[in-house]
Structure 1
Amino acid sequence: MFGPYVVPGFPEEGALDVVLADNPSGSMWLEREADVSRYQDLFDAARTSALSPAESRAVIHRRAEEHQA
């Protein structure tokens, strides 16, 4: 099950990437490269399919007009 997560970046040379993942049972730190890569891939897929700011505004505006009608 996926919930909110963050992949904090650490500027120090040699610092490992990690994931802090939250779920209904609590939070967990993931340090394995395969786990971190999986979450980075999820974020990249979400970013790729996201609307642009202009497209987002248009959708919100359209939905607001539909709601008021």
Structure 2
Amino acid sequence: MVFFIYKKTMIMHILEMLILTILAAMSLLGVYLNIYDRYTALLVFTSISVGAYLTAKWLKKNIQ
């Protein structure tokens, strides 16, 4: 049972890192293609990563 919960949190962490990596790549690609400037990309990435962190925290609390 404990291992199952641990495995679930590990999957959550992996998903979180995957999402953050994808978002970082997207913001870097946006800067490279001049869709938006660096500061806008930083702002978007920061807000989305904070949102993803809070969502993961909330999911972790509700699943356990």
More helix, by proportion: 2
TM-score relative to the length of structure 2: 0.36
Larger relative contact order, structure 1 or 2 (CA cutoff 8 Å, min sep 6): 2
User: If each structure's strand is expressed as a fraction of its own residues, which one has the higher value?
Assistant: 1
Task: Give the TM-score normalised by the residue count of structure 1.
Answer: 0.33
Q: Based on CA coordinates, which of the two structures has the bigger radius of gyration?
A: 1
